[in-house]
Amino acid sequence: MKKLFALLMVMTALTSLVFAGGNNEAGTSKGATITLMQNKPEIDGALKDYAKIWNEKTGNTAVVKSVGGSSSITLGQQLKADYAAGDMPDIFIIAGIEDYKEWEGIILDLSNEKWVKETSVAFTKDGKVYGFPVAVEGWGMAYNADMLSKAGIDPASLDNYEAYRSAFEKLDSMKDKLGIDSVVSMAAGPEMGWVTAHHNFNSLLSNGLPYGDMSVVNQLLKGQVDMKRLNEYADWVELLFKYADKAILTTGNYDAQVGAFATQKAAFLHQGNWVDPNIKAANATFKMAFAPHGSMHTATDGIFVAAPSFYVINSESKNIEAAKQFLNDMVFTQEGQDFMVNKAGMIPAYSNVKLNPAGQLSKSVQQWAAEGKVYSWNQYNFTGDFRDLTLAPIYNQFANGSIDKAKFIELMKKAFEGLK
Amino acid sequence: MNKQRKTNLIFWLFLAPVLFTFIMVIVIPFFMGIFYSFTNWSSSARADSTLQFVGLANFKNSFQDPSFIYSFIITSLYTVLNVLFINAVALILALVVTSRLKLKNIYRVGFFIPNLIGGLVLGYIWQFIFNNAIPALGNIIPVLDFLSNPDNLVLSKVGSSVTALVIVGTWQYAGYIMMIYVAAIEGVPESLFEAATIDGANEFQKFKNITVPMVAQAFTITMFLTLVQSFKQFDVNVSLTAGGPSAIFRGTPLFGTELLSLNIYNTAFVKNMLAEGQARAVVFFVVLVVISVIQVSINKKKEVEL
């Protein structure tokens, strides 16, 4: 009896192994199969269409998996689960140095790839290229140009705290005339920590500094706080929260925040050029562009532009060549370029790509970048833990009105001092 | 092969698929989890990612983290409220649908249906109700004007957010618990009620002295189910409040409605400390076992056999 049982168990185990093996075998000999995991659900459809075209041209198959959409369900979590299961994708996304450290052992050196020469924003470490920039993105204060001209405000003047304060005050007094509910569409709810503790936080880190300047970041990481900079930043946060719609600010989600701007219920939007498809879907036709953040009293003439995420190749992958080809084809084939710019609406990070995205805000980012008026994205030099679990609740407290500005400054200072 | 052997073979043959699955997805991961909670496991390809034993460090760090302690407190509070509300509502519903009511089967189905909707979907539906529908109601009806004031948004304060979690939890689970009560109430012999009626007992006396003792067995089950369900609450928590709004506990700003499961999840996947998350899960498991054993043994004493 015992023998029979043992035999049965072995057979069950073997059968499942055979079935599991069957799926993978198809890949290696003829067309290879690569798995790509990325974090933009909004381009999932376009990417899958492109993968189909790529399959027809090369005979290789690319399986696209998209994870993401809120700060509680992220790509990083899926990668951890897949890594533990021994099912790591061949191409996946990292967002910066903290992610790089997480996967350091399996990220392939791509220094000798053809696309490296065409871009200036690849992810590099110690002189070696590791990450393929997915796109260029940027954010500032998106404004409704029609509304500002109606209110007699020149967007070019908006580049410091004082200019924003008087502009917000003026717009606030003209609410009824302009038909708006609030001046700025800002979100600081529990799901929207990425707007406050990632994007807005970056104003403190890089606004007004030369591109790539890490001085403020390094100081904060050592627990040293520049109180003048933090005080001015707190003024800016207070200003944004004060003139925001309180319902959207405290409990609204992404749709509510972008919706208020797209339906002309707010004159400003604190988001980046990735909202273009959402605004298009809402049939908004007014003119819009980006203005710099006013987080400082001195003028800061530039917006935050960078490549936010990078494709990296898993060095343990069996199909490294196919994965490399997939990335190269995206840059050097007509279909690949068409996917990046026209289908996915992204700003290309490659100089050989001559197409331009159609979205107004994407064009605005390109314009700022062309003029060289850009500040870097430094928020990814802090861990996700620090941003999402330490800073986000502080912003939320301030937005709810549970704490005042002095307490906000005190808690922020304490949080940084806890870093060393 | 004699008959005894044949029966045995069939027994194991039918059991094998379930047993195999149970061992693979419950037993092995459970013991692996306990093992990992004593290591620095991170499931990543970090440069320094060799597996090392760290003793009780993960447990020590957990108890020094204010967010873990806070989660324990808020989860206990939520559990007490949720168990009381679900059972009270379920019992009332069960009494209603076992009385002489027209269309009672339709009511039974209606009350049960929320249980068939997934918790994530339910959370998003109720988030819409709390964030959009209720304020809109305040705009339409002048008397309820205060509802449209952003200061009164249900999900903008910790206290009312916990209440919201309890409301949604009750809405989701009361129908299911009601079904258990219905089965128990219908199992009470009619003759007891007839005898009581002849003795001149009124409805309340009948309920207190016959129904309650006779369905005590059901109380054991429902209390256990609701207790465990509330303690383990995760999906509604994620989708309805996402842990927010924030609160300040012992001088540290943290998420105000982050129940234990969500706290474990955030520790593992946002803080990237999988081993520490696992340690918290072990603590969570032990606490849950102790509490439910106590609850079942207390309830068992109150049961009566006919």
In one letter, which amino acid is A192?
A: M
Between CA B268 and CA B35 the distance in angstroms is 16
Q: Do B270 and A388 touch (CB under 8 A)?
A: yes
Task: Identify whether the C-beta of residue A118 lies closer than 8 Å to the C-beta of residue A350.
Answer: yes
Q: Is B4 on the interface with A (CB under 8 A)?
A: no
Query: Do residues A176 and A130 both lie within one domain?
Result: no
Query: Tokens 């593992």 — which residue?
Result: B268
Query: Do residues A377 and A231 both lie within one domain?
Result: yes
Query: Do residues A132 and A142 both lie within one domain?
Result: no
Between CA B200 and CA A13 the distance in angstroms is 67
* Count of domains for chain A: 2
State pLDDT tens for residues B135-155.
Answer: 888 888 888 778 878 778 888
What per-residue confidence (pLDDT) applies to A305? 92
Dihedral angle of Cα B202, B208, B210, B211, to the nearest 10 degrees: 110
Task: Identify whether the C-beta of residue B296 lies closer than 8 Å to the C-beta of residue B224.
Answer: yes
Query: Do residues A131 and A153 both lie within one domain?
Result: no
C-alpha distance from A242 to closest chain B C-alpha (Å): 13
Q: Is B259 on the interface with A (CB under 8 A)?
A: no
**Of A5, A107, A396, Cβ closest to residue B12:** A5
**What one-character DSSP code corresponds to residue A343?**
I
- Gyration radius from chain B CA atoms: 24
Between CA A139 and CA A275 the distance in angstroms is 10
Q: Is residue A44 part of a domain?
A: yes
Range of the domain at B209: 59-301
Between CA B50 and CA B35 the distance in angstroms is 15
Q: Is residue B161 part of a domain?
A: yes
For A70, which residue in chain B has the nearest alpha carbon?
A: B242
Between CA A237 and CA A232 the distance in angstroms is 9
**Of B12, B43, B271, Cβ closest to residue A8:** B12
C-alpha distance from A115 to closest chain B C-alpha (Å): 26
**Of A102, A190, A394, Cβ closest to residue B244:** A190
The 10 Å Cβ neighbour count of residue B51 is 11
Query: Do residues A132 and A260 both lie within one domain?
Result: no
C-alpha distance from A329 to closest chain B C-alpha (Å): 28
Task: Identify whether the C-beta of residue B150 lies closer than 8 Å to the C-beta of residue A246.
Answer: yes
Between CA A312 and CA A319 the distance in angstroms is 13
Higher pLDDT, B46 or A132: A132
Q: Is the dihedral of CA B183, B187, B190, B193 positive or negative?
A: negative
Query: Do residues A187 and A212 both lie within one domain?
Result: yes
Q: Is residue A216 part of a domain?
A: yes
Q: Is residue A360 part of a domain?
A: no
**What one-character DSSP code corresponds to residue A87?**
-
Chains A–B, number of C-beta pairs less than 8 Å apart: 124
Query: Do residues A326 and A386 both lie within one domain?
Result: no
For B271, which residue in chain A has the nearest alpha carbon?
A: A385
Chain A residues in contact with B247 by the CB 8 A cut-off are 393, 397
Q: Do A12 and B17 touch (CB under 8 A)?
A: yes
Residue after which a domain boundary falls, among A351, A384, A406: A351
For B150, which residue in chain A has the nearest alpha carbon?
A: A247
Q: Is residue A121 part of a domain?
A: yes
Instruction: Express as a percent the part of chain A with pLDDT over 70.
Output: 92
Query: Do residues A283 and A162 both lie within one domain?
Result: yes
Between CA B65 and CA B77 the distance in angstroms is 19
**Residue B258 C-alpha from the chain's centroid:** 14
Which of B270, B276, B278 to substitute to test the interface with A, most A CBs within 10 Å?
B270
Q: Is residue B44 part of a domain?
A: no
Q: Report the range of poorest mean pLDDT among A9-23, A380-394, B50-64, B288-302.
A: A9-23
Query: Do residues A254 and A157 both lie within one domain?
Result: yes
**pLDDT bracket for residue A95 (50, 70, 90):** confident
Between CA A21 and CA A26 the distance in angstroms is 10
Contacts 24+ apart (CB under 8 A), A281-286: A282/A258, A286/A144, A286/A145, A286/A146, A286/A147
Q: Do B244 and A191 touch (CB under 8 A)?
A: yes
State pLDDT tens for residues B155-190.
Answer: 888 899 999 999 999 999 999 999 999 999 988 888
Distances (CA, A) of A319 to A72, A157, A171, A322, A396: 31, 53, 57, 5, 45
C-alpha distance from A401 to closest chain B C-alpha (Å): 10
Chain A residues in contact with B43 by the CB 8 A cut-off are 80-81, 83-84
Axis crossing angle, helix B260-269 with helix B274-301, rounded to the nearest 10? 160
Q: Is residue B150 part of a domain?
A: yes
Q: Is residue B306 part of a domain?
A: no
Chain B residues in contact with A83 by the CB 8 A cut-off are 43-45
Range of the domain at A278: 138-305+370-417
Across the range A222-230, mean pLDDT stands at: 92
Q: Do A104 and B47 touch (CB under 8 A)?
A: yes
Between CA B82 and CA B77 the distance in angstroms is 8
For residue A115, give both structure tokens: 């696309």
Query: Do residues A264 and A327 both lie within one domain?
Result: no
Q: Report the range of poorest mean pLDDT among A70-74, A208-212, A273-277, B160-164.
A: A70-74
* Count of domains for chain B: 1
State pLDDT tens for residues A119-154.
Answer: 888 898 888 999 999 989 999 999 999 999 999 999
Query: Do residues A130 and A154 both lie within one domain?
Result: no
| Range picked from A365-374, B16-25, B131-140, B197-206 for highest mean pLDDT | B16-25
For residue A391, give both structure tokens: 């800073």
For A385, which residue in chain B has the nearest alpha carbon?
A: B271
Q: Is B8 on the interface with A (CB under 8 A)?
A: yes
Q: Is residue B37 part of a domain?
A: no
Q: Is residue A258 part of a domain?
A: yes
Q: Is residue B54 part of a domain?
A: no
Q: Which of A311, A378, A379 is nearest to A119 (CA)?
A: A311
Q: Which of A170, A185, A237, A211 is nearest to A405 (CA)?
A: A237
What per-residue confidence (pLDDT) applies to A5? 52
Q: What is the CATH number of the domain that holds B238?
A: 1.10.3720.10
Q: Which of A385, A346, A382, A353 is nearest to A43 (CA)?
A: A346
Q: Do A80 and B151 touch (CB under 8 A)?
A: no
Q: What is the CATH number of the domain that holds A387?
A: 3.40.190.10
User: Is residue B62 predicted with pLDDT exceeding 70?
Assistant: yes
**Of B16, B150, B274, Cβ closest to residue A80:** B274
**pLDDT bracket for residue B246 (50, 70, 90):** confident
Q: Is residue A6 part of a domain?
A: no
Q: Is residue A13 part of a domain?
A: no
DSSP-derived 3-state class of residue A148 = helix
Between CA B111 and CA B90 the distance in angstroms is 9
Query: Do residues A211 and A249 both lie within one domain?
Result: yes
Q: Is residue B12 part of a domain?
A: no
Q: Do A103 and B45 touch (CB under 8 A)?
A: yes
**Of B5, B8, B272, Cβ closest to residue A102:** B272
State pLDDT tens for residues A327-361.
Answer: 999 999 999 999 988 888 888 888 888 888 888 99
In one letter, which amino acid is A198?
A: H
Q: Is residue A114 part of a domain?
A: yes
Q: Is B272 left (phi over 0), alpha (psi -120 to 50) or beta?
A: left
Average pLDDT, chain A: 87
Across the range A206-221, mean pLDDT stands at: 91
Give Cβ neighbours of residue B264 (< 8 Å, ≥ 6 apart): B277, B280, B281, B284
Residue length, chain B? 306
Across the range A360-370, mean pLDDT stands at: 90
C-alpha distance from B6 to closest chain A C-alpha (Å): 10
Where are the alpha helices (H) located in chain B, listed in sequence order? 3-22, 28-36, 57-64, 66-98, 104-112, 119-128, 134-140, 158-186, 190-198, 203-206, 212-214, 216-231, 235-236, 260-269, 274-301
Axis crossing angle, helix B66-98 with helix B216-231, rounded to the nearest 10? 140
